[in-house]
Structure 1
């Protein structure tokens, strides 16, 4: 799709490099450029089981795929000039420079557009271009409300187990760059697309933001439960020791669940007949459901739910996830610096013409 597209990826860590990988998977020629003395820090972010002498890590591999690798020190005039030569024919330039670094390196937006007016410059920052704060995903999760909502009353605030704010910012940047590419077909001019982790996080608060903005409701830590729907996120233990959860989004779903469990009388019980009442009485409802679930095997439950289009699922670990063919189909393998690497695809859509 993008075989003629040339991308220079000067970004590090997760958000920016994943954008480069996205375009690489779609056929673009992507060159990742790193400082020879200070390479991408995620090369060193290794599990205890990883070889410390190998130049890549699983973390680094997760968002670097099908790229060429080039070491350039922008403070070195000869090497900087090499970068400038590459910029002249590039379509996209990705970076997450700290505030002032682009100017220090002589790589301001204005200068880059002087040498290549059609260049699309994609930039990621932590708290916006005017801020010099160092931003890691954890800090953004803390400061944009995600940690305050995540966890249980007993656990206290908990961060999400993936760098989700980075992932969300990367998607925002991809969308912005795709829009700029479309615009360029009409104007023949480049653009600057800027995304901050902060804005991406706030923009992703979705229903939780509206619960507060419209009702003044400050979300509490309720584990996997949903503040607006019940049963939704309660975890039940089956007869065969499996963990199962339901997303009962409608009265019809609830009727079918009760039908399977032999609890049809609950659909006319004023405590549970409507979703708003189920939310109010969710603890009592969960106890009733658990009593029956504990006598049922997971496969029997899921077979009925899937057949009747009731959202339900097992809670799986990653070993169990990647036993599934549909998950394995998204795995991409590549050797980087003589090291076999694997990651999941940055592309989850299917495009047919």
Structure 2
């Protein structure tokens, strides 16, 4: 079934701005929903319209950042403090299925667009909201602040360097995924009961919930994750970067002994397999610096494409470190691009968010 048909009878009203909330709207737009994006006409619309790189046209009505979470949405510029605009919004809500918002605590209610207020107009309405720290917490919290407070910044960066934020607004991305999951469950529940509900996620909760093994290393062992660059705290060699004879950076990830042994065979270093320092993953972790020295010298004897080909054939995980241009030179990545003609005549591009496949 064509994914764009799954929600072609769904109507979404999006008050949300920036990335997390609009990403949820984008998800449902990709699945066929009609998404009406309400932007604040008093402030020039979604703030990301103005988040431009130096090379972007400062007078253009959109930014590349804005494109990232907005596609196939009907945009209405409204003033929620204007009685006529609010009446128009209420009329839209009466037959809507989903509202997406990211107002600070109490703000939606003051404007007349809180869950309980809109529920009076439409008992089937699902109200999805994103906040920084919780439904009752009024603190503002942009992504980088939440990254810092949930441990991500502390453990990211080189061993001898400063803490570093992730290069994408990861807390927003993670919160959007959580909110989508909640909305899908709310839609399922509505099929059973006929009633809508409120679904919310905080950036803080999404950040902590995604710490995975780094959290359990602390919770079970009281081991505080440290900055290791791209290295893995539990596996070696994993995340190590080595350069080839044509000066290409390759990243290694041998997650099993079999893969480690395969890498040694490919590199012509069978002695490392039987070296007492590297017999087990635990020993390789203990001696990862000397191990990296051995591998670094041997990688320089290979041309990158030659080594990548052999490793693929032998099922040894290894990858070239690509920049963004190189990523989108790959046909598989090109297939994930969504284009849209904008009102100003430009053709915008962004990456799909609904990239799963369903077969019957």
The interval holding the TM-score normalised by the smaller chain is over 0.9
2:315 alignment counterpart: 309
d(CA) in 1 for partners of 2:268 and 2:314? 15
Kindly indicate whether residue 245 of structure 2 is the aligned counterpart of residue 239 of structure 1: yes
Distance across 2 between alignment mates of 1:217 and 1:208: 9
Normalised TM-score (structure 1): 0.99
Inter-partner Cα distance in structure 1 for 2:109 and 2:125: 17
Q: Which residue of 1 aligns with 2:16?
A: 11
- RMSD of Structure 2 on Structure 1 (CA): 0.8
Q: CA deviation at 1:350?
A: 1.0
Q: Does 1:32 align with 2:15?
A: no
Q: Larger deviation: 187-196 or 294-303? A: 294-303
1:76-115 to structure 2, matched below 5 A, reads 76-115=82-121
Indicate whether 1:212 and 2:218 are aligned.
yes
Residues in 1 aligned to 2:201 and 2:70: alpha-carbon distance in whole angstroms:
20
Output the CA distance in 2 between the equivalents of 1:343 and 1:107.
30
Instruction: Give the drift of 1:306.
Output: 0.6
Q: Aligned to 1:146, what secondary structure does the other structure show?
A: coil
CA distance in 2, matches of 1:187, 1:73: 34
Q: Which residue is 2:349 aligned to?
A: 342
Contact 2:109 2:117 (8 Å CA) reproduced = no
Gaps of 5+ in 2: 1-5
Deviation of 1:107 (Å): 1.8
Q: In 1, distance between residues paired with 2:114 and 2:57?
A: 38
Query: What does residue 295 of structure 2 align with?
Result: 289
Q: Could you say which residue in structure 2 is the equivalent of 1:127?
A: 133
- Secondary structure of the structure 2 residue equivalent to 1:148: coil
Question: How many corresponding residue pairs?
Answer: 353
TM-score calculated relative to the size of structure 2: 0.97
Q: CA deviation at 1:352?
A: 2.2
CA contact (8 A) 1:120 1:180 kept: yes
1:121-161 Cα offsets, whole Å, 9 max, x none, are 00000011111111111001111000000001332100111
Deviation at 1:336, TM superposition (A): 2.2
* Structure 1 residue ranges without an equivalent (≥5): none
Aligned to 1:258: 264
The corresponding residue for 1:172 is 178
Poorly superposed stretches of 4+, deviation over 2 Å: none
Mean CA deviation greater in 101-110 or 51-60: 101-110
CA distance in 1, matches of 2:273, 2:88: 71
Return the alpha-carbon distance in structure 1 between the equivalents of residues 160 and 258 of structure 2. 33
